[in-house]
Amino acid sequence: MKIDLAFKYKDLINYLNKIVPFTPQVTIVLGSGLGDFAETLNIVKSISTTDLPGYPPSTVEGHSGRIIFVESENKKLLLFKGRIHFYEGYKIYECILPVFISYKLGCNKIIFTNAAGGIKKDYSPGDLMLAESFNGVNIKKELTDIIGIASAEVKNNLGNFTSSQLNKIIKQAAVEENIDLKKGTYWFSKGPSYETPAEINMMAKFRGDAVGMSTVHEIIFALSLGMEAASISCITNYAAGISTTKLSHEEVTETANRVKDTFGSLVNRVIALI
């Protein structure tokens, strides 16, 4: 059954509306690898999510999220640092809160960034991938909580999500920055653990190119609200069984850290081109 988000987050949105410095033109959800991106830009206002009434508390002590208002390339941006992941035990209506906030603040463009395991044989850790399609088969049922029984208009919108204007801009930005941007299908995995080699084998057979534990429900919700959305993954590791080395969280953070400058320059260029 669809949750009434406007009612659920009424106090939070009212509070934010009183303190926001501007209406954002673009939202960027910062995944692993882009966490410090905001600090490289002109920060107008940074708010801890612990100050927001009803914002889900972080499960990691000392790592509360921030929502950051930034001006860059003559654009007004809203950045979300610290994601709300399904595998941490949050409800789906909590995971999509950054999207809901952006929408309520009048923003109609959102770019998701995330870390993902590379399934496709010619992907290597450090590659960046634009998601041209998504496999959300693992999260279909939960989606009814946030989009309900979709109207014909919403259903039609959801079918379009690989051909947005934003994807064109991202490809153009990669060309201008000399980045070999991969294009592929992002497969949602519920977690909480990384996948088994057998699971990755299945995803590979069904043409999944990268796997991660975020974004798909967030992007579907954004599209259901009529927002323009796109997703860029940082391939942080070979997915389970693709290489002989054992997958670890350390590898994910190490790679994300290694490519953060490239990732940052791509996103900066995207912002300039929007």
239 near ligand HPA (CB under 6 A): yes
The residue (of 213 and 266) whose beta carbon lies closer to ligand HPA is: 213
For ligand HPA, which residue of 29, 128, 213, 230 counts as binding (CB under 6 A)?
213
b/e map 55-79, b = 16+ CB within 10 Å: bbebeeeeeebbbbbbebeeebbbb
Residue type, 119: I
209 near ligand HPA (CB under 6 A): no
Q: How far apart are CA 101 and CA 8, in angstroms?
A: 12
Q: Which stretch binds ligand HPA (CB under 6 A): 36-44, 104-112, 140-148, 235-243?
A: 235-243
Q: Are 220 and 176 in contact (CB under 8 A)?
A: no
Of the candidates 171, 31, 186, the one whose C-alpha atom is nearest the C-alpha of residue 113 is 31
Binding mask 69-108 for ligand HPA (x = CB under 6 A): ----------------------------------------
129 near ligand HPA (CB under 6 A): no
End-to-end CA separation in angstroms for the chain: 36
Q: Which stretch binds ligand HPA (CB under 6 A): 59-67, 92-100, 162-170, 209-217?
A: 209-217
236 near ligand HPA (CB under 6 A): yes
The residue (of 98 and 117) whose beta carbon lies closer to ligand HPA is: 117
For ligand HPA, which residue of 212, 215, 220, 267 counts as binding (CB under 6 A)?
212
Nearest 10 degrees: Cα torsion 53, 213, 29, 183: -160
128 near ligand HPA (CB under 6 A): no
Containing 68, the helix (H) or strand (E) segment is strand 66-72
Q: Are 218 and 98 in contact (CB under 8 A)?
A: yes
252 near ligand HPA (CB under 6 A): yes
The residue (of 115 and 147) whose beta carbon lies closer to ligand HPA is: 115
Q: What is the largest CA-CA distance in the chain?
A: 53
C-beta of 115: minimal distance to ligand HPA in Å?
Answer: 4
211 near ligand HPA (CB under 6 A): yes
Q: Are 214 and 94 in contact (CB under 8 A)?
A: no
Q: How many amino acids of this chain bind ligand HPA (CB under 6 A)?
A: 14
